[in-house]
């Protein structure tokens, strides 16, 4: 393998010419912490109902809660007013540090009304008006896939009609089929703006693929299958910690196929005939749009939920090291950013698109963390399997024997994720009421 220069900083990993991997902070942090990481090369910040609930639980917003209550606002209105304010503050900080290409500060739309396309569109426009440095999260939630597409496109069109361009962050995308459908909705929006006589080039968008939860669910299935088929223990143990990476690499290939007309590289048996046709349709639609609007920006693939859920078992950089490449984004918490910075300073990371490489076929346990990290860095020294090979093995030996599939599992994860965000939003309302009762009793 040709010797490559090593990246030693976050800025080294993001080559503006290649639109290399861009990092965003996952969650709210103190202003000085945000400023520090923006100065180190971070290009954005993300939030959701769960993360804002944590912000409320810290107690730092109690005085603001009381003041807004005294102004006559309901708990729901207080929640939205403070959420908007916190996001706007982060957007201002981002504007000071990042002048050009950025990931914005992502703000989620109402999780309790995610099934109402008109409500989502109206709120999306309201949020976007706060700052051009905000990305508005629109959830992959709807009664049908057609409704999901219509919600995405409808929000983009409504914003244009009201005189602004929406920067959509399509969230709660868990499966490859979710990705294809939500990209289609994004293209629907771009084409609708063009048909109205507009130039959609200012639109900046990301499509957020949730990664770690797939491993959490799959590893549980693997443990169950090891009890059923102990004779397959070695193979099943090898499959642990590989579902999320393999799936993300597959989705990245779909992304490259759509926006850069690159071949998939191997047969993707997971796609139905209809999805193959949808992929080809997305390719041709994007090509026509780009021919008409040469400055149109690709919808960057953003890797979400990329903190390691098993820190004593897997590397803290499980969803970072093997998923670096052009036009990628990754939202990670400060703990993972710190681990990445240490790794860059102590060892360095070769500047190459690891996301296009196969999956290291090495055991992943608490005792092999360093070995796995070395395997990713020196991929030519270890056995490997392609993403589709890994996913096929998972289907044959884990998913199918337990009556499920990658498609079904990711649908369930999406629905659980949407329910969790809605529950946390409701919990935030209840927390505000409880805070008011305590503050008023003082």
Q: 237-254 burial, b if ≥16 CB within 10 A, otherwise e?
A: ebbbbbbbbbbbbbbbbb
Query: Which pLDDT belongs to residue 3?
Result: 60
Residue 406 CA to residue 176 CA, distance in Å, equals: 9
Q: Which helix (H) or strand (E) holds 269?
A: none
Backbone angles phi, psi at 135, to 5 degrees: -105, 130
Burial class (CB in 10 A: 0-12, 13-18, 19+), 389: middle
Interhelix angle 334-346/31-40, rounded to 10 degrees, is: 30
Query: 330: which strand partners?
Result: 23, 303
Answer for the pair 79, 110: CB distance below 8 angstroms, yes or no: no
Nearest to 69 by CA among 437, 340, 442, 441: 437
Q: What is the mean pLDDT of each run of 10 residues along the chain (442 residues)?
A: 76 83 93 94 93 88 93 96 95 87 92 96 98 97 96 98 98 98 98 98 97 97 97 98 98 98 87 96 98 97 94 95 96 96 95 96 97 96 97 98 98 97 95 88 70
Query: Which pLDDT belongs to residue 438?
Result: 83
Q: 109-146 burial, b if ≥16 CB within 10 A, otherwise e?
A: bbbbebeebeebbbbbbebbebbbbbbbbbbbbbeebe
Q: For residue 98, what are the contacts with CB-CB under 8 A and spacing of at least 6?
A: 38, 43, 44, 133
Answer for the pair 370, 360: CB distance below 8 angstroms, yes or no: no
Query: Which pLDDT belongs to residue 1?
Result: 44
Answer for the pair 24, 42: CB distance below 8 angstroms, yes or no: yes
Residue 351: both structure tokens together: 């500047």
Whole-Å CA distances, 157 to 128, 150, 193, 362: 13, 10, 6, 48
Sign of CA dihedral 370, 376, 378, 379: positive
What pTM did the predictor assign? Answer: 0.96
According to DSSP H, which parts of 58-74 are helical? 62-70
Cα three-residue angle 105-111-114, rounded to 5 degrees: 110
According to DSSP H, which parts of 176-320 are helical? 176-195, 212-228, 233-239, 243-260, 273-292
Query: 99: which strand partners?
Result: none
């Amino acid at each position: 393998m040709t010797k490559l220069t090593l990246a030693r900083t976050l800025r080294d990993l993001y080559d503006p010419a290649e639109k290399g991997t861009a990092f965003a902070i996952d969650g709210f942090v103190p202003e000085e912490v945000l400023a520090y990481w923006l100065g180190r090369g971070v290009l954005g910040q993300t939030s959701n109902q769960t993360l804002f609930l944590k912000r409320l639980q810290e107690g730092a917003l109690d005085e603001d809660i009381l003041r807004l209550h005294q102004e006559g606002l309901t708990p729901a209105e207080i929640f939205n007013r403070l959420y908007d304010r916190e996001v706007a503050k982060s957007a201002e900080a981002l504007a000071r540090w990042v002048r050009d290409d950025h990931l914005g500060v992502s703000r989620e739309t109402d999780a309790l009304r995610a099934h109402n396309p008109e409500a989502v569109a109206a709120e999306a426009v309201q949020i976007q008006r706060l700052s051009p440095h905000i990305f508005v999260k629109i959830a992959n939630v709807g009664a049908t896939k057609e409704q999901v597409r219509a919600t995405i496109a409808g929000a983009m069109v409504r914003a244009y009609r009201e005189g602004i361009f929406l920067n959509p962050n399509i969230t709660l995308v868990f499966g490859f089929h979710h990705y294809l459908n939500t990209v289609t909705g994004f293209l629907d929006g771009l084409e609708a703006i063009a048909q109205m006589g507009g130039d959609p080039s200012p639109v900046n968008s990301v499509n957020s693929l949730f990664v770690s939860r797939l491993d959490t669910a799959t590893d549980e299935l693997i443990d169950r299958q090891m009890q059923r088929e102990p004779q397959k223990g070695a193979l099943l143990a090898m499959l642990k910690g590989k579902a999320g990476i393999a799936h993300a690499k597959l989705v990245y290939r779909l992304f490259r196929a759509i926006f850069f007309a690159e071949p998939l590289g191997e047969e993707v048996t997971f796609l139905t005939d209809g999805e193959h046709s949808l992929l080809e349709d997305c390719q041709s639609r994007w090509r026509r749009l780009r021919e008409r609007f040469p400055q149109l920006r690709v919808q960057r693939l953003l890797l979400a939920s990329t903190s390691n859920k098993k820190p004593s078992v897997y590397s803290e950089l499980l969803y970072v090291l093997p998923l670096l490449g052009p036009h990628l984004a990754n939202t990670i918490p400060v703990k993972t950013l710190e681990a990445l910075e240490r790794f860059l300073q102590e060892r360095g990371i070769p500047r190459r698109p690891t996301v296009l490489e196969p999956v290291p076929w090495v055991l992943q346990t608490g005792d092999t963390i360093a070995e796995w990290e070395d395997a990713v860095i020196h991929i030519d020294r270890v056995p490997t399997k392609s993403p589709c090979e890994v996913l096929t093995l998972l289907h044959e030996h884990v998913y199918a024997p337990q009556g499920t599939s990658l498609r079904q599992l990711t649908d369930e994860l999406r629905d659980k994720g949407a329910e969790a965000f809605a529950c946390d939003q409701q919990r935030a309302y209840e927390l505000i009421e409880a805070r008011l009762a305590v503050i008023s009793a003082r």
